[in-house]
Structure 1
């Protein structure tokens, strides 16, 4: 048994399982990281691109997509602790575009079939994704509001928005809410709006606030909203499955990467790039209740608040495709509420990234796990490589 409580033979089993995905061509390459009680195991398997000769490395930079959301929530809580934002105060003061909202009477209503919002949108609504607008889990264009969000360039997706934060809010202002504030959980949009709110509250660009208040204290030297030119060689291709052929098709490549230049819209919902070790530093801070080395990013009460399930049973049932029957939502993170599989430890928290990454922290097991691939998810349900990674992590625990 190792000092961290992992079985070496079972870590070898995890290596074999993950290698199988590369050997079968399901992903070109993988970086895995597991950390427990100060012991860190990192594996690099495969290549940075299909048919390539440049191997995956420990410092490979990945597009972490929605694994950005927990970082954005931490940034918001930093401002709460400084009393620059308040959880239950309407956000109208800094986001006047969200004031005096109209709400669709039904999901399938035309855009002018609305009623007044029952109350203002608060910071808590943004953090818990209960502001009343977000991703509609239905075939594209099924409902008028879906079509309107897509035409306005506001539909959640894997690529960065090509509009400024102020223009984003202006376009959002032109649309009704889908549900009353506080009523339902809807994915993603809350984090993008939260990024705009943080920048306005802090009086500086979101990327600057992230760097000064989170990345530099945590020594996250390779994390940001774009990859500098001198580091582009460490960015792998990303891929999407061609639904007709079932083959991996290039979604983004370093030579002309959307992440190779500062974005027009720094997305708090999904815009960051990072490495396994950088993201470990963030997760380790969360595991340590807000402290990292000699630095304190957040207080223990803030971390505990963030990692508490805030949803009602009805809200979780409506979002069953995301939560199944064993998870809820805190502030920017999913929270396990019931154990029904190896990794379903109550209190475990984190989130996945739609471009092929996964990162969770388990306070009970004193453990962090991070999976980095470059194959885009094709469903809200975790792909098999995610499921097998987490099964492999937990079966490797010795004590």
Structure 2
């Protein structure tokens, strides 16, 4: 049938089904709009559905979104650029570059008071930072129970939807006042590693993180709408971000495109969660990784570097306590989650990517040569991915037609 002819190994009829499914999440009021992209074998399918704001202008394929933790992969690529140049080495101590983290003390146990510590057995390395095994990060126990959680909150570094708004040196000074939760290399703890990684990259490269990313990644890949903020001339393409008000159960504005935190240059360029981008821009980045470090004539990384980044680097023991993030079917590479077991249409071993807490999701699948990117402007209500993401990935994989 004419309507079922595949494009790039994707069924036209099944792509229409995906659009219908995604439209349902907008029509039921879950979010004002979204952009969904699926790419396979060089063919790209994009659906722009709904509006950029409640009652606002229609969503467009080039609408700009805040991608939150999808930023982590970009920071990891930047670090690997410096590794390939031997300006950084995976297993060298970072004490000289980040003296704030030198000579660390470690909590005797997670229940300990913050002054009940023992010496670190070794220094923190770049590998520890990239794999989130540096001993600093989010403890997934809510509400705060342990003294170290309360200490992190007290100095303004608690995980959450509002990111650090302080100069990089001040961020590192504050991290330096805390003991490590675990010994370096012992356990995976979310998020802080990427914040610290951005400072490390800036110090080693000798320029701001934004300038380094722009020169070495964004410009070569043609990612012209990607950066740490949307400038005024792009505010008309910048989606409003919403959060669900728990009392009224209604969506309220979390970040405005004109007056919000992402509308002007930030004090802290956050390699953990700070980027804004479009579906097309981020697809260029994703295709570069899927192609083993190359996009067209531009080689950003070597194939071995990409393979290292996108391989699970964790042991079962290092994942203990982080089941909320991994379940039993994935692990972590450098800045990306990596699936290790297939128990759903989309959980193909080797598939890599990550979600963003502002309502975004990206994964690339080397076996299927498939990339999917879902950009919404509604904050996630919990660390568990919302239904729109689960439905997007089911719809993307059911569209494969070979």
- Distance in 2 (alpha carbons) for counterparts of 1:314 and 1:331: 18
CA offsets per residue over residues 188-209 of structure 1, 9 Å max, x none? 0000000000000101100000
Equivalent pair of 2:310/2:350 in contact (CA under 8 Å)? yes
2:310 to 301, 307, 312: 307
* Paired residues for 1:172-191 under 5 Å: 172-191=175-194
| Aligned equivalent of 1:397 | 400
Indicate yes or no: 2:342 matched with 1:339. yes
| Aligned equivalent of 1:287 | 290
| Aligned equivalent of 2:277 | 274
* Paired residues for 1:1-399 under 5 Å: 1-50=5-54, 52-399=55-402
- Give the unaligned 5+ runs of structure 2: none
SS state of the match for residue 240, structure 1? strand
Equivalent pair of 1:107/1:143 in contact (CA under 8 Å)? yes
Aligned residue pair count: 398
- Distance in 2 (alpha carbons) for counterparts of 1:191 and 1:255: 27
SS state of the match for residue 32, structure 1? strand
Deviation at 1:317, TM superposition (A): 4.0
- Distance in 1 (alpha carbons) for counterparts of 2:333 and 2:224: 27
SS state of the match for residue 95, structure 2? helix
- Distance in 2 (alpha carbons) for counterparts of 1:81 and 1:246: 49
Deviation at 1:350, TM superposition (A): 0.3
SS state of the match for residue 239, structure 1? strand
Equivalent pair of 1:284/1:292 in contact (CA under 8 Å)? yes
CA offsets per residue over residues 162-181 of structure 1, 9 Å max, x none? 21000100111111111111
SS state of the match for residue 10, structure 2? coil
SS state of the match for residue 78, structure 2? helix
- Distance in 2 (alpha carbons) for counterparts of 1:131 and 1:46: 42
- Distance in 2 (alpha carbons) for counterparts of 1:71 and 1:252: 23
- Distance in 1 (alpha carbons) for counterparts of 2:312 and 2:12: 34
- Distance in 2 (alpha carbons) for counterparts of 1:390 and 1:217: 29
State TM-score, norm by structure 1. Answer: 0.98
CA offsets per residue over residues 134-177 of structure 1, 9 Å max, x none? 01111233211111111211112222322100010011111111
- Distance in 1 (alpha carbons) for counterparts of 2:285 and 2:258: 29
State TM-score, norm by structure 2. Answer: 0.98
Equivalent pair of 2:187/2:320 in contact (CA under 8 Å)? no
- Distance in 2 (alpha carbons) for counterparts of 1:141 and 1:203: 37
Equivalent pair of 1:140/1:147 in contact (CA under 8 Å)? no
- Structure 1 runs of 4+ off > 4 angstroms? none
- Distance in 2 (alpha carbons) for counterparts of 1:42 and 1:392: 13
- Distance in 2 (alpha carbons) for counterparts of 1:73 and 1:162: 21
SS state of the match for residue 182, structure 1? coil
CA offsets per residue over residues 305-359 of structure 1, 9 Å max, x none? 0011010012234211101111100000000100000000110000000000001
- Distance in 2 (alpha carbons) for counterparts of 1:363 and 1:2: 19
